[in-house]
Amino acid sequence: MNQSEENQKLILNYVEKNCVRTGLQTHPMPDVTEAVVGGLTNHLNLLKRPLCPCQFYPDKQEAVQERTWLCPCDDMKQYKYCHCLLFVNSEGNPITEHLPKDHDGLTTYGLVADPAPEKGRKGQHRPTEIKTAEAKTVSP
Ligand code: SF4
């Protein structure tokens, strides 16, 4: 297996794990997923990092250093929103439910509910954990 094939395998493994972590799925049209996986693999080959293939970068090395668009990008980690349509719901739409009101994803796609809101967001608390903490705080 050559380096590019190994990198593609790494990306495919990562995609599978991120789907489990977030409760989302890859796009129902295989061509979309293949294109994004191919773009991530190319960036891994060239830059040694999985830089998002759906953005324009005046300087890719600088973008790697900034880390905002390393997959999973900040929007995926915080809001479960994938600009590239790699991680989506069963209809192929990106999740917009958690986005800030001024985010362009809401204008483009409208409100798209998260099929697994209990999973996959940075800093997310499970309701049971919040209840436990509150119970401890208010108990005498
Ligand atoms: S938009 Fe974010 S989560 Fe989606 S492929 Fe690009 S970097 Fe990855």
- In the chain, where are the structural domains located? 3-138
The structure tokens listed for 128 are 């049971």
Q: Give the whole-number percent of the chain exceeding pLDDT 70.
A: 89
Phi, psi at 49, each rounded to 5°: -140, 150
Residue 131 has pLDDT above 70, yes or no: no
At which residue do the structure tokens 């119970």 appear? 135
Using the mean position of ligand 1's atoms as its centre, give its distance from the Cα of residue 6 in Å. 20
Residue 38 has pLDDT above 50, yes or no: yes
Residue 134 has pLDDT above 50, yes or no: no
Q: Is the CB of 36 under 6 A from ligand 1?
A: yes
Q: Is the CB of 83 under 6 A from ligand 1?
A: yes
Pick 3-138's CATH classification: 3.90.460.10, 3.30.70.360, 3.30.460.10, 3.40.120.10.
3.90.460.10
Residue 140 has pLDDT above 50, yes or no: no
Q: Is the CB of 112 under 6 A from ligand 1?
A: no
What's the confidence (pLDDT) of residue 135? 41
Using the atom order of ligand 1, give the atom closest to the CA of residue 50.
7
Residue 136 has pLDDT above 80, yes or no: no
Dist CA 105 CA 86 (whole Å) = 14
The structure tokens listed for 124 are 């997310």
Dist CA 114 CA 132 (whole Å) = 25
Residue 110 has pLDDT above 90, yes or no: yes
Q: Is 54 an annotated catalytic residue?
A: yes
What's the confidence (pLDDT) of residue 123? 77
What's the confidence (pLDDT) of residue 67? 97
Mean pLDDT of the chain: 90
